[in-house]
């Protein structure tokens, strides 16, 4: 069974993330120990909350450099919500530097009439990398669930795997760069589409060169 390390840094609903991975056929292992990231077939970084505390909690557990090294190694990695945002250089939400894995900044939604901030609820994906492994049987127009006041603004927009439109703003919903996938929405709360995405991730882990070499 595919063994997935789910990083515990006091910033996420680990139970729902693990339940979603279990439904997808994986064996999640909740951990804050760097060695466990290397022993797993893949790594998931969930997260709910604010940018600065997230970075501080990762730093206090000596996980920042191991996360960078695990991603650089080619091991499959999935970031969820705040777990996407901390991959960037910095955020309008705080003062801490991010992990700097994806060049760019996390920005707050611009206020405008007729939209709510935080952006909370269901929205439709527009796939910009339709061949990404996580999108198998997922199509543009499928609905997923969001809760966020800030969005990712990558320097290189080609890393976007999907976008959404909120009011007049079209923003990042997911990013993909080689073995790294990260989503702003919550797949574990996104009904059949979310479960399909998790199923696809688990299947891609089993087929990855890193997992096959173990």
Structural domain boundaries of the chain?
3-212
CB of 64 within 8 A of CB of 32? no
**pTM (2 decimals)?**
0.96
**Phi, psi (5° rounding) for residue 101?**
-85, -35
Q: Hey, what CATH topology would domain 3-212 get? A: Rossmann fold (3.40.50)
Whether 110 is a known active-site residue: answer: no
Whether 134 is a known active-site residue: answer: no
CB of 94 within 8 A of CB of 125? no
Going by the DSSP 8-state scheme, the letter that residue 117 receives in this structure is: S
Q: What is the pLDDT of residues 33-84, one digit of tens each?
A: 999 999 999 999 999 999 999 999 999 999 999 999 999 999 999 999 999 9
pLDDT at 110: 87
Element housing 29 (H / E): strand 27-31
pLDDT at 212: 52
Given the residues 18, 57, 81, 93, select the one marked as catalytic: 81
Given the residues 57, 119, 148, 188, select the one marked as catalytic: 188
Sign of CA dihedral 108, 111, 116, 121: negative
- Give the gyration radius of the chain's Cα atoms: 16
Alpha-carbon distance 163 to 160, whole Å? 7
10-residue stretch averages of pLDDT, the chain, 214 residues long: 96 90 97 97 96 97 98 97 98 97 96 89 97 96 97 98 95 97 97 97 86 55
CB of 150 within 8 A of CB of 49? no
Whether 81 is a known active-site residue: answer: yes
pLDDT at 13: 80
Element housing 165 (H / E): strand 160-166
Going by the DSSP 8-state scheme, the letter that residue 144 receives in this structure is: E
């Amino acid at each position: 069974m595919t063994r997935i390390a789910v990083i515990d840094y006091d910033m996420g609903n680990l139970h729902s993330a693990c339940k979603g991975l279990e439904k997808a056929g994986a064996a999640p292992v909740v951990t804050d120990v760097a060695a466990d990231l290397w022993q797993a077939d893949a790594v998931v970084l969930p997260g709910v909350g604010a940018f600065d505390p997230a970075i501080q909690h990762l730093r206090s557990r000596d996980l920042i450099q191991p996360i960078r090294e695990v991603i650089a190694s080619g091991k499959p990695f999935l970031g969820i919500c705040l777990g996407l945002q901390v991959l960037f250089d910095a955020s309008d939400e705080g003062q801490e530097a991010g992990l700097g894995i994806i060049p760019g900044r996390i920005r707050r939604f611009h206020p405008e009439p007729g939209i709510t901030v935080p952006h909370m609820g269901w929205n439709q994906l527009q796939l910009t990398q339709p061949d990404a492994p996580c999108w198998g049987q997922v199509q543009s127009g499928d609905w997923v669930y969001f809760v966020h006041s800030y969005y990712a603004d990558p320097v290189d927009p080609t890393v976007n795997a999907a976008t959404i439109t909120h009011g007049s703003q079209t923003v990042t919903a997911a990013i993909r760069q080689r073995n790294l996938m990260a989503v702003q929405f919550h797949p574990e709360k996104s009904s059949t589409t979310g479960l399909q995405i998790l199923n696809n991730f688990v299947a891609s882990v089993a087929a990855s060169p890193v997992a096959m070499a173990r």
